[in-house]
Structure 1
């Protein structure tokens, strides 16, 4: 059995071999891009920081008109601070992981593109309520926080930014004392904190955040309630609800849950997608195994007599095994090559449409090697079965 004979047999059995190559190509394409999405999903989950392990987010809606909503919010804050397990209450709009939230477009000089960032409006208790440490600079003080009733003429002029935004805007230079600007106003950076993500933390703009010293109190008010007793975080929500509903003005709690629970809720789709992709990967591996098994079995049955005759004419078992293995390996490599080219094409589309990076070359190589090993394992199994049979059995059955 020589190369010419092998190529003739591949041509003669081109349909099953083409089917095997097609299935392998499809599997490589799906596996490569499924891995890319899976890695992006895991990256999004891992890069989402754990903020406020001892913090509950409250969103309050005041149902009565004609009342001072700002005064009601202050009364709620005082009532919450009277609880023995509560040590910090911060007015913050929005709260982390809350979804959506205000944004700001910052102008950049030297012809650079504008950058859209997520904005928090908060008081001086925002950082303590989230247990966030400043990387550099200082926090706001009470006199720098613009009250909720401020006129448009009184706008915040100071800002604290997160480390990601600081690196984006200023590189390795210190951002302290420098200004950032949007179309209407400029702000002086007094502090840098880390970590912090925006309420829309799954969007690219959610990675860049800034905090302005301003209270946004009104018919809708959101608060961060920090407990000094980590063991009470699960039972704290009911106590907070009891205090809020005990106030004279009618109100509704639209959100009352630990921040980490909101983080998990916000990442539910990513976690579910990760589980689905793992199932898809396993399913395709099983499909490939079944397809390869079927094609190999079909070809071994079809060529059983020719293999027996070649053995009878003096072809050694080792040489026969090597030639058959090479034959199937060539078909597998053709499928892997086609699948790799297809996966590169779809990887570019995924990158442009969803900012999903292409998997590394070594991962693509690993997938190709896995396919080759799988094919050869099946081939070697059938070869071993054939070698156990006598020449008469091989030729006449």
Structure 2
């Protein structure tokens, strides 16, 4: 099939060809970036939290009335003993936040040296005790767990100065990329040095939003119970109890645990609406935005592709109706139906090819703009390649119907007047 006659025919329909080329270019730029956003969102919301989500839930406990730190701490110890003694409970501990909570976790600055000029690595912290690792369902990959005598009691105005800490593997690799983290000393929030005694495999922080996406697996376990009294404290006089159940016991413990706490001491408030939350529910809520964006972007891609396919079908059908006599002449001169079919498919491939070249440039420019204004990584070129291939296949499919109608034009059309 000669390309020159096709280009000559396209020059006679410059405006229509230009509109289709621009539509294909814009579709490729938008679809490729939209698909990349969908990919990043799906990868983000599919990441494991590092916990035994299927058997883990939390109780948001608020104290009624005010008391001093020693009384709150004693009550928390009693609550934990009550929870751990319930049938179906594997383990439990108290903290100020939980994974995927979308709030509550403490942001910490971690340095190798306390000097102000030292660049800090950011991380997210949980208050924890010797039961935290088992309750989360994560695993130590190096070092040891906390001991009971290392767990402190913090009041609302006490400064967090842990002697020892446990960190995640992701954070350990960032702090000490060339060596082992266990045994190393770091400074949290420019306080006294803390020794890293253990490294856990994975543990997601309490935030899942895009603002903390780069550090939401950089987690620090601080050996303490936070005895918030509610007198202006940061955590509003409450505590989060994380409870891990035995397999098949989650539903039963969800009912028995809050009732057991209330029976033990009624000077508390556990909201009937959001006082008890499973980690599965927390995941659904935390990633609702990511899921919604992915669905919306997917719908935009489908609509754009359908509009582009419709434009190709419409233009090709118009050209077939305009060229019936010339097609009849070619048929009379010996062109087969296959020749006519290949002509229109080659013509469409050229149009899509020009649009794809322009669309690649627009797609890269759009991605650079998104990187500047939003937290989006650089789009790999293979995404544009996939988009180009998708548009090429779509173009060939869209033109197939009009091309078949063109191939069916009989040679007698050559004898009809224009």
Q: TM-score, structure 1 length as denominator?
A: 0.91
1:8: which partner in 2?
Answer: 8
| Counterparts of 1:327 and 1:173, CA distance in 2 | 60
2:250: which partner in 1?
Answer: 233
1:250: which partner in 2?
Answer: 267
Deviations 1:254-297 (A, max 9, x none): 43122232122212222232222222222222222111111111
Stretches of structure 2 lacking an aligned partner (at least 5 in a row): 229-236
Does structure 2 retain, via aligned residues, the 8 Å contact 1:93–1:221? yes
1:107: which partner in 2?
Answer: 111
2:28: which partner in 1?
Answer: 28
1:70 aligns with 2:73: yes
Cα deviation for residue 360 of structure 1 reads 3.0
Cα separation, partners in 2 of 1:66 and 1:328, compared to 1, 3 Å: closer
2:135: which partner in 1?
Answer: 129
| Counterparts of 2:333 and 2:155, CA distance in 1 | 100
| Counterparts of 1:154 and 1:273, CA distance in 2 | 38
Equivalent of 2:202 in 195, 207, 220: 195
Cα separation, partners in 2 of 1:314 and 1:246, compared to 1, 3 Å: same
Alignment of 1:1-397 (within 5 A): 3-52=3-52, 53-66=54-67, 68-100=71-103, 101-108=105-112, 113-148=119-154, 152=158, 155-181=161-187, 182-202=189-209, 203=212, 204-218=214-228, 219-227=237-245, 229-254=246-271, 255-313=275-333, 319-393=339-413, 396=416
| Counterparts of 1:20 and 1:151, CA distance in 2 | 66
What is the count of residue pairs matched by the alignment? 396
| Counterparts of 2:223 and 2:378, CA distance in 1 | 41
Query: Per the alignment, in what secondary structure is the counterpart of residue 224 of structure 1?
Result: strand
Stretches of structure 1 lacking an aligned partner (at least 5 in a row): none
| Counterparts of 1:356 and 1:184, CA distance in 2 | 34
Does structure 1 retain, via aligned residues, the 8 Å contact 2:129–2:224? yes
| Counterparts of 1:144 and 1:57, CA distance in 2 | 24
| Counterparts of 1:10 and 1:267, CA distance in 2 | 49
Cα separation, partners in 2 of 1:157 and 1:201, compared to 1, 3 Å: farther
| Counterparts of 1:153 and 1:21, CA distance in 2 | 64
Does structure 2 retain, via aligned residues, the 8 Å contact 1:23–1:288? yes
Q: TM-score, structure 2 length as denominator?
A: 0.86
Does structure 1 retain, via aligned residues, the 8 Å contact 2:340–2:403? no
Does structure 2 retain, via aligned residues, the 8 Å contact 1:36–1:357? no
Query: Per the alignment, in what secondary structure is the counterpart of residue 30 of structure 1?
Result: helix
| Counterparts of 2:110 and 2:156, CA distance in 1 | 23
Cα deviation for residue 41 of structure 1 reads 0.8
Cα deviation for residue 223 of structure 1 reads 1.2
Cα deviation for residue 194 of structure 1 reads 1.2
Cα separation, partners in 2 of 1:300 and 1:112, compared to 1, 3 Å: farther
